[in-house]
Amino acid sequence: MSAVAAESDTSRPLGFWTCTALVIGNTIGVGIFLLPATLAPYGLNALWGWLITLIGCVCLAMVFSVLPRLLPEEDGPYGYTQRAFGGGVTFYVLWCYWFSAWVTNSTIATGVVGYLTILIPALRAVPWLPPVIALTLIWTFALINSLGIRMAASIQIVTTVLKLLPQAGIILLGLWLLAVKPTLYFANIPVNPISLRAVLDASTNTLYAMLGIECAAIPAAKVLNPGRTIPRATLIGTLVTAIVYIGVSVIPLFLIPQAQLAASSAPFADLFARYLGPQYGWWLALSIVICGLGALNGWTLIVGELTQTFAMRGRFPEGWGKPSRRGTPVTAFIVTGVLASIILLMNYSESTTKLFTFFSQLVTAANLPLYLACSLAVLIVVKRERIATGWRRELVGRGAAFAAAVYCLWAFAGVGAKPWLYAIVLAVVAIPFHFASARSRSAPQISV
């Protein structure tokens, strides 16, 4: 191997498999195990909602595939939006996304501990122990990512493979029941009428499940051959995730009575208990814990890389992005770990369901500005900078970007007034940070 190639591999350690694992592993988290119950009240409207979400997310995946090809020298979504809109819009969009990333870590840690109490019932006897374990998980993965991105990448690949196994089991169970007793699928068909409002609400809920498809693009500065790796990982990861989600959502919808499914706090456990026996509950809880740990590892990596990008762009203190001798932004992991810990302790007294609902709305609202900005960035950059891509690629790229932008507006309409309020609050909070960073970057440097 040449010295140049070795240096490239060292400075850009994330390859295709790691990037694909980031997309799949960060998207499939603890929330997948509540999704069938969340969608049950919508009946067959959920299927139409999934169809819209699938089309929209494939278009978004194409957006995050086109941008690295157009702008391979940029360091991910920050660079893409900066190129299209300038500093102000970029700061707000990425600020919202950064905020949602460390909030997601606290939510995942809470969900993992909730299922750990099923595996180890003794944890429930000590009220202070679950939040302490949740904090320990946050800081464990901050430490793992601080020790080196290769270690975090290996853990991400392993946990992604492990988390796909129970999902495959659920889909195989559904296919087996369809083969041996197809009448089961007609016994509990929901009777809800198809309506635009229900489809809109269902598609918003399914969008929350798909958040994370952009994760291969976030650490673009550390991806080997980003113009080729990120597009492949994003598209393949999005399609695999969509197939898994649709499969595990549709099967309980048809096999469990609608009222029972909507009231279930563990829909997959109910599915296994109904058709295979209750002894699978422990293994299901273990698979949920693995899903959560993999997602927590991946989102810790993402929020650390994004914090480093902010610091390198002069938006956060320079020390937050300074790499250690292992090449990792240790201070970034410490800062975001503290923030995630604070939000976890502030909300741990709430029930898991309330916490999940609140944060799902908040995180969806915080992600949509990034999705819309990147979709519009494709249209703006191609037209303004006249980047030659060939007419076929340009047509496909522009078509996907336009469709993705329309889908984002559809999603904005579906999230309701409360998430809009959250987004406005985030914008207000971002204003002083934006102007403070702008002043520090424009201040004259005095040498002594």
Single-letter amino acid, residue 85:
F
- The pLDDT tens digits of the residues spanning 366-378 come to 888 999 999 999 9
Q: Does 41 map to a domain?
A: yes
Q: Does 438 map to a domain?
A: no
Predicted pLDDT of residue 352? 54
Q: How many residues does the chain have?
A: 448
Q: Does 98 map to a domain?
A: yes
- The pLDDT tens digits of the residues spanning 160-217 come to 999 898 888 889 988 998 898 888 888 888 888 989 888 988 888 888 888 899 999 9
434-438 mean pLDDT: 71
Q: Does 6 map to a domain?
A: no
Look at residue 447 and tell me whether its pLDDT is greater than 70.
no
Most confident of 133-147, 194-208, 304-318: 133-147
415-443 mean pLDDT: 72
137 exposed, middle or buried (CB, 10 Å; 0-12, 13-18, 19+)?
Answer: buried
Alpha carbon distance 359, 352 (integer Å): 11
**What is the extent of the structural domain holding 226?**
11-428
Predicted pLDDT of residue 217? 92
Q: Does 443 map to a domain?
A: no
Local confidence band at 351 (pLDDT 50, 70, 90 cut-offs):
low
DSSP state of 388: -
Q: Give the chain's mean pLDDT.
A: 84
Of the candidate ranges 146-160, 268-282, 345-359, 416-430, the one whose mean pLDDT is the lowest: 345-359
342-347 mean pLDDT: 80
Q: What percent of the chain has pLDDT over 70?
A: 89
Predicted pLDDT of residue 24? 94
Q: In total, how many domains does the chain have?
A: 1
Q: Does 149 map to a domain?
A: yes
**Mind giving me the DSSP string for 85-98?**
H-HHHHHHHHHHHH
State whether residue 14 is helix, strand or coil.
strand
53-77 mean pLDDT: 90
Dihedrals φ, ψ of 248, to 5°? -80, -15
CATH number at residue 345: 1.20.1740.10
Look at residue 228 and tell me whether its pLDDT is greater than 60.
yes
Local confidence band at 3 (pLDDT 50, 70, 90 cut-offs):
very low
Q: Does 442 map to a domain?
A: no
Look at residue 288 and tell me whether its pLDDT is greater than 90.
no
For the record, the structure tokens of 321 come out as: 């992005």
Q: Does 439 map to a domain?
A: no
Local confidence band at 6 (pLDDT 50, 70, 90 cut-offs):
very low
